[in-house]
Amino acid sequence: MKKIPVYGFADEASANFAGQIAALLRNGMRGIEIRNVDGENVSDISLEKAREVRKQLDANQLVTWSIGSPIGKIDIREAGFEKHLDKLRHTLEVARILGAGYIRMFSFYIPSGEAPAACRDAALERLTRMAELAEGSGVRLCHENEKGIYGDNAERCADIHRSIPQIGGVFDPANFIQTGQDTAEAWKLLKPWIVYLHVKDADANGGVVPAGRGVGAVEAILRDFIAGGGQGVTLEPHLSVFDGLLKLEREGERSGIGHYVYGSGDEAFDAAAAALRELLER
């Protein structure tokens, strides 16, 4: 990969961590944004397991760029937030062991029928407590725009960053497309706060496609991010895998089952990586 370090959500290639390492290595990536490890979410693994994972990464000269956590991906009205903070405390410990500089997180689901504005105070209060918990840890919380949460459009993401500057931003073009947000406008507004990108593109209908083949202005955003000194990006393929596709085909043949559908996670991951390489080489 040229010009900028690339990391990957390698759990999309394989549920098995050894398979994830293999996917990163064959695609020339610097390391991982770790999300699931041998079928277990990274925020739930034991500290002993985290140490084992670190040894495997070190042995292959790979690093953990960020923790792809589910922190903040709960209903804003859900009881038991203190327990959720305990999960964040544990995730911070996992991040420390793995040497991650960032934890990807979210700004809480808005209940069906409620206006996001009505949930603003509750969202910002909870996010502030999360940011305070992370202070002094050496790990920065980074908010990702995601469908259905308080920060699902550019204006509300900007509200989070202005209100809680300790929280950085993760910019996901496909997620913005799926909420009807123009990605170029979102980038223009949010780029002062963006720490890194999730490289994920989508077509006009919201279907995820390889980077550069959708309407997400991914190439232009990548170019601007790199020119501005961006330090890294994470490949998040999210491409369709048709279980059993390979069994339907003879060796060397490909069934015509729509665009960008792959026979395995490894195949989808490699295709997404190849599309990103093409953009970076331009």
Secondary structure of the chain in HEC code, one letter for each residue: CCCCCEEECHHHCCCCHHHHHHHHHHCCCCEEEECEECCEECCCCCHHHHHHHHHHHHHCCCEEEEEECCCCCCECCCCCHHHHHHHHHHHHHHHHHHCCCEEEECCCECCCCCCHHHHHHHHHHHHHHHHHHHCCCCCEEEEECCCCECCCCHHHHHHHHHHCCCCEEEECHHHHHHCCCCHHHHHHHHHHHEEEEEECEECCCCCEECCCCCCCCHHHHHHHHHHCCCCCEEECCCCEECCCCHHHCCCCCCCCCCCCEECCHHHHHHHHHHHHHHHHHC
pLDDT band per the 50, 70, 90 thresholds, residue 243: low
What pTM was computed for the model? 0.93
**Residue of 248 and 79 predicted with greater confidence:** 79
pLDDT score of 259 more than 80? no
Give the pLDDT band (50/70/90) at residue 75. Answer: very high
CATH code, residues 6-281: 3.20.20.150
For residue range 110-145, list pLDDT tens digits in order.
Answer: 999 999 999 999 999 999 999 999 999 999 999 999
Give residue limits of the domains in the chain. 6-281
